[in-house]
Structure 1
Amino acid sequence: MKTAWAMAIATALAATSLSAHADKKAVVQKILSSQQEALDNMSRNVAEQPARQLAGGARNIIVQTVPEEKREATAKLVDVEIKKYLEGAIPAVRASAAKLSSSVLSPIYEEKFSEDELKQLQAMLDSPVLKRYQSLLPEMSNTLLEKVVADARPQVTPKLQTAENNIRAILEKASGGKLNQGEAKPTAKPAGKK
């Protein structure tokens, strides 16, 4: 009789535990679903970072080595290649994030949060106030950034110019004067007859 009672209690506890675990998994899946936009943005940023580096490097090379009359056309060709890259890279990174987010993030949520905490987190993520706040973040960030740049510009600009001049001098010296070869050099005036 005691064995049957113990077995019934163990079965009930196991069923409760499985039910609680299933509930916790369901809450985690809701949290992951509500984070889809953030995952998409992260994916876009991951794919765009190398494109920004490529564009910056290409821009420098175009300015330094391409004849002025060919720069615009060359820049357009580079833009086409970068767009092709992004058209393939963004969906690939997004698919990878979608595929891995559940298997990577679910165990972390399940381990680090109780079911009650997960429910609170889900409620917070679904909050209209949080959604409104998040929608205002770009505007608030841009407004602050504009003010910071305007305020700091008088102190930073001279430092930047000094750094640029010093770096240019270092590169000029290291390249044996090749940096300025494309620039017009002043020509000496012929000495007048006396």
Structure 2
Amino acid sequence: MKKIKLAVLAVALTASSFSWAQDGKAALVKQFVDLQRPGIEALARALVQQASDPIAQAGSGYLQTQVPAEKREAAAKAADAELKKYFDESFPLVRDKALAVAPTTLGPILEQNFTEEELKQLVAWISSPLAKKYQDMNPQMQTALTKKVVEDTRASIEPKIRALDASVAKALGAPTAGAAPAQSGNAPAKAPAKK
């Protein structure tokens, strides 16, 4: 009976040690992800910026070629205000989602690929061979986080992009896709421009 009690005690201690080790590793992963907050925010900023870049570029081209010189400054300021409004509304949404999903997206990658001791070294981020290993894993983590943030924010961001496109076009005095009545047949709406 005494041997059974000792065996049960040994199993309990082993399980307790394993649980403590996992908690220690999880705490290190959380700490490491927390330290990555500036990079995660930069990723969110880049995603929001990247989504509006085509609109900004198209607006700039239109501004230079279609808006009279005397109206360009005012139109550019109006378009910039719309772009800033979009960014100010969208960045917090994407940033908050990125920060929320980072632990569950990056955490498993870190836990699977780094030991507790390696995580301690990463958190300390001393010049070490681990810097190379982390850099090698970084593209996979960024890809995973980017995919998850885009998936989770698409429904919220796409309507904002469409609204931004329309508001920038309006600020520049450009026609919008819905502004011209649809023509019947296959002729494009801009056919009269072929004079």
TM-score range, shorter chain: 0.5 to 0.7
**Structure 1's 125 and 32: CA in aligned 2 closer, same or farther, altered over 3 A?**
farther
Which residue identity lines up with residue 124 of structure 1 in the other structure?
Answer: W
Following TM superposition, by how much is the alpha carbon of 1:105 offset from its aligned partner in structure 2, in angstroms?
1.0
Aligned twin of 2:73: 72
Aligned twin of 2:56: 55
1:18 correspondence with 2:35: no
Q: After TM superposition, list the pairs within 5 Å mapping 1:1-194 onto structure 2.
A: 1=1, 2-124=3-125
Q: Please list the CA deviations of residues 97-138 of structure 1 after superposition, one character each: whole Å capped at 9, or x if unmatched.
A: 1110111111111111111111111111699xx9xxxxxxxx
Q: Could you tell me how far apart the structure 2 residues matched to 1:113 and 1:29 are? A: 13
Indicate if the aligned counterparts of 1:24 and 1:110 stay in contact, CA closer than 8 A.
yes
Q: Could you tell me how far apart the structure 2 residues matched to 1:70 and 1:50 are? A: 27
Q: Could you tell me how far apart the structure 1 residues matched to 2:56 and 2:108 are? A: 38
Which residue identity lines up with residue 80 of structure 2 in the other structure?
Answer: D
Give the TM-score normalised by structure 2.
0.62
Give the TM-score normalised by structure 1.
0.62
Following TM superposition, by how much is the alpha carbon of 1:69 offset from its aligned partner in structure 2, in angstroms?
2.0
Runs of 4+ in 1 over 4 A off after TM superposition: none
Q: Please list the CA deviations of residues 49-68 of structure 1 after superposition, one character each: whole Å capped at 9, or x if unmatched.
A: 12222211101112222222
Aligned twin of 1:189: none
- Whose radius of gyration is greater, 1 or 2? 1
Alpha carbon RMSD of aligned pairs, Å? 2.4
Unaligned runs of 5+ in 1: 131-174, 182-194
